[in-house]
Amino acid sequence: MQHIQSASVMQTFVLAARREGKRIGAVPTMGYLHDGHASLVRMARAESDIVITTIFVNPLQFAPNEDFTRYPRDFERDWSIAEKAGCDVLFTPSPEEMYPQGFQTNISIGGVSAPFEGVFRPTHFDGVATVVAKLFLLTQPDKAFFGQKDYQQCMVVKKLVRDLAIPLEIVVCPTQRENDGLAMSSRNVYLSAEDRIKSTILWKSLQAAQNLIQQGERHRDRIETILKETLLTMNGLTIDYAAAADADTLEQPTEFAPTQGIVLLLAVRLGATRLIDNLVVR
């Protein structure tokens, strides 16, 4: 596996690969890799000639009061996980490489970025869209692989690609979970032992709402009520949102149509840790 840190070297590498007709798969990450990330690399490996995993903790998507400085980082761990999963190139640019002196460009995505995370982290998706666009330009992938755990982010990235006519396919891969249902996340390392036990309530609430929908419930307020009531059985948990929305648009009708896909979206806080999760019911 190669290690590239320079943006210009990365571009030179992929342009040469594309001239040779190689198909490139990219897996953008912020590092501190786990098996959820590894599953994305494995999927990219199965569908690409060259797999590039990017690791960049993007300062633009963190608000001043968020965890940019303490976000977990472990290069040796990342190297081992990426290599075992089948990565060919690990691209780890510095902030100075990504945002050189005088950098003033910002990409803002309308519509799907506004609700949910957009309410609680209003600058977040501008930072995501800007860095993802630049990573796409640097790695020139045919396909880019993202995890469904960040459902709204996947929708924002899809809209970015569609609106700007970026010639690549976004592949959304299933959320990887621990044995007790907790969605794998780099931030899970923040959880205390007690909060780690409590965190299983997210998956239980999603399952409870899924069961209600599968029994025929289509009223949004009733679906959201069971999400919230299940979450609040756990002491010490606060809810940012527990919502049901159209799986394709994130719109929130009073009542879902019989054939309408529904995405259940959660963001909660356990102690100092903020967790997100989702489940699509079709």
Sheet with strand 262-270: strands edge to edge: 237-246, 262-270, 273-281
- Helices 75-85, 35-47: axis angle to 10 degrees equals 40
Is 37 known to be catalytic?
Answer: yes
The catalytically annotated residue of 34, 37, 124, 219 is: 37
Confirm if 58 and 28 have CB atoms less than 8 A apart. Answer: no
Q: Is residue 144 within 8 Å of 168, Cβ to Cβ? A: yes
Q: How many CB atoms lie within 10 A of CB 17?
A: 19
Q: H/E/C letters for each residue in 89-114?
A: EEECCCHHHHCCCCCCCCCCCCCCCC
* Amino acid at site 64: P
- Give whole-number Cα distances, 41 to 147, 151, 155, in Å: 11, 18, 20
Neighbour tally for 80: CB within 10 Å:
12
Residue indicated by tokens 């999927």:
43
Which residues form the catalytic set?
A: 37
